[in-house]
């Protein structure tokens, strides 16, 4: 069973170092399997293993079925722009200074260490073996629910597919307000209404403001592989929109587990 406990100061320090990208063993078991229950109806090879290259499953309405428990490829949690050229992410002067300050302070100002949600799109990213961040997609024709097992707390997002527009005056929140639509075989999710306190990634500490808009394009290439193309449009922090593409893979015959993080009470010791 994957387990994360951050009630003790030593584990808060370990979490901070792990979030910062430094290699440190945590004093808890991580990455073990949930109940290994073979998902019924899944395509399998002759030896019983899941066939991850099988065709993309479909919903009764013909849309791709994105359902499943997924985990992104590692590295994007630390730097969402890792595959981009430097001139593709042009920060406003204040945002560039803030990003440099966060790196200079070893990311101890990251509110994820305080058990706050990772924010969007960082919540979709895996932090690697030490801090897995799997997520589960539950799909219906009018609503897609994303369930998250993060290093902070279990949480969720709702993506409304019923034709509603984005609210003109959203109440600012960590994960924003999301609506979706289908463009061919791709689910396009637009999210606004952020509180401006979350980071886009951890190692670089790219900032996000309340004016930010995140567009995620979910494409299931085959049974076992999902591609998330992410566009960051935040004119207060960046001179122009920028885009990153994050691959994710299915976690076969697995599921999420409950995670909780104790609210930070020992921040001074961490410094």
Contact at 8 Å (CB) between 74 and 127? yes
**135-160: average pLDDT:** 94
pLDDT band of residue 264 (cuts 50, 70, 90) is low
CA dist 21 → 79, 129, 203 (Å): 10, 12, 6
H-run or E-run covering 136 = strand 135-139
Class of domain 9-37+55-270 as given by CATH: mainly beta
Question: What residues are paired with 252 via a beta bridge?
Answer: none
Contact at 8 Å (CB) between 151 and 3? no
Per-residue confidence (pLDDT) for residue 22, from 0 to 100: 41
For residue 253 the two structure tokens come to 């015959």
**193-214: average pLDDT:** 96
DSSP class of residue 80 equals T
**204-232: average pLDDT:** 97
Q: What is the pLDDT of residues 38-52, one digit of tens each?
A: 777 889 999 888 899
Q: Per-domain residue ranges for the chain?
A: 9-37+55-270
For residue 218 the two structure tokens come to 């979910």
For residue 187 the two structure tokens come to 């689910």
Q: What is the pLDDT of residues 114-131, one digit of tens each?
A: 889 999 999 999 987 667
Higher pLDDT, 131 or 13: 131
Question: Quick one: 17 exposed, middle or buried, by C-beta within 10 A (0-12, 13-18, 19+)?
Answer: buried
Query: Could you tell me whether strands 186-192 and 213-222 are parallel, antiparallel, or unpaired per DSSP bridges?
Result: antiparallel
pLDDT above 90 for 59: yes
pLDDT band of residue 4 (cuts 50, 70, 90) is very low
Give SS3 for 95.
Answer: helix
Q: Where are the beta strands (DSSP E) in the chain?
A: 68-72, 135-139, 143-149, 154-160, 177-183, 186-192, 213-222, 225-233, 242-250
For residue 190 the two structure tokens come to 């637009």
Mean pLDDT over the full length of the chain: 85
**216-224: average pLDDT:** 97
Per-residue confidence (pLDDT) for residue 6, from 0 to 100: 38
Contact at 8 Å (CB) between 176 and 191? yes
For residue 74 the two structure tokens come to 């590692």
Give SS3 for 155.
Answer: strand
pTM higher than the cut 0.95:
no
Contact at 8 Å (CB) between 61 and 180? no
Query: Could you tell me whether strands 225-233 and 154-160 are parallel, antiparallel, or unpaired per DSSP bridges?
Result: unpaired
In which residue are the tokens 């030490």 written?
Answer: 130
Contact at 8 Å (CB) between 114 and 6? no
Per-residue confidence (pLDDT) for residue 48, from 0 to 100: 82
CA distance 169 to 167: 5
Per-residue confidence (pLDDT) for residue 268, from 0 to 100: 55
Per-residue confidence (pLDDT) for residue 129, from 0 to 100: 65
Give SS3 for 112.
Answer: helix
* Low-confidence winner among 63-72, 198-207, 228-237, 260-269 (lowest mean pLDDT): 260-269
Q: Euclidean distance between the first and final Cα of the chain, in Å? A: 31
Per-residue confidence (pLDDT) for residue 24, from 0 to 100: 35
């Amino acid at each position: 069973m994957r387990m994360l406990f951050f009630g003790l100061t030593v584990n808060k320090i370990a979490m901070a170092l792990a979030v910062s990208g430094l290699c440190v063993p945590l004093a808890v078991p991580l990455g073990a399997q949930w109940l290994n229950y073979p998902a019924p109806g899944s395509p399998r090879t002759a030896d019983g293993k899941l066939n991850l290259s099988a065709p993309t499953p479909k919903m009764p309405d013909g849309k791709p079925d994105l359902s499943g428990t997924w985990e992104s490829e590692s590295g994007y949690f630390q730097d969402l722009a890792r595959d981009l050229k430097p001139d593709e992410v042009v920060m406003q002067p204040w945002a560039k200074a803030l990003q440099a300050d966060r790196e200079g302070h070893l990311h101890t100002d990251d509110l994820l260490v305080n058990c706050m949600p990772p924010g969007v799109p960082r919540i979709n990213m895996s932090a690697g073996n030490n801090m897995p961040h799997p997520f589960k997609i539950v799909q219906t024709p009018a609503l897609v629910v994303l369930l998250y097992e993060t290093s902070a707390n279990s949480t969720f997002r709702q993506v409304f597919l019923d034709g509603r527009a984005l609210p003109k005056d959203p109440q600012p929140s960590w994960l924003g307000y999301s609506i979706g639509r289908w463009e061919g075989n791709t689910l396009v999710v637009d999210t606004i209404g952020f509180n401006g306190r979350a980071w886009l990634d951890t190692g670089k500490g790219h900032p996000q403001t309340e004016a930010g808009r995140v567009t995620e394009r979910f494409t299931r290439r085959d049974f076992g592989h999902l591609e998330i193309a992410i566009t960051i449009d935040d004119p207060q922090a960046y001179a122009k929109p920028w885009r990153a593409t994050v691959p994710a893979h299915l976690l076969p015959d697995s599921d999420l587990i409950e995670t909780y993080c104790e609210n930070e009470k020992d921040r001074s010791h961490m410094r």
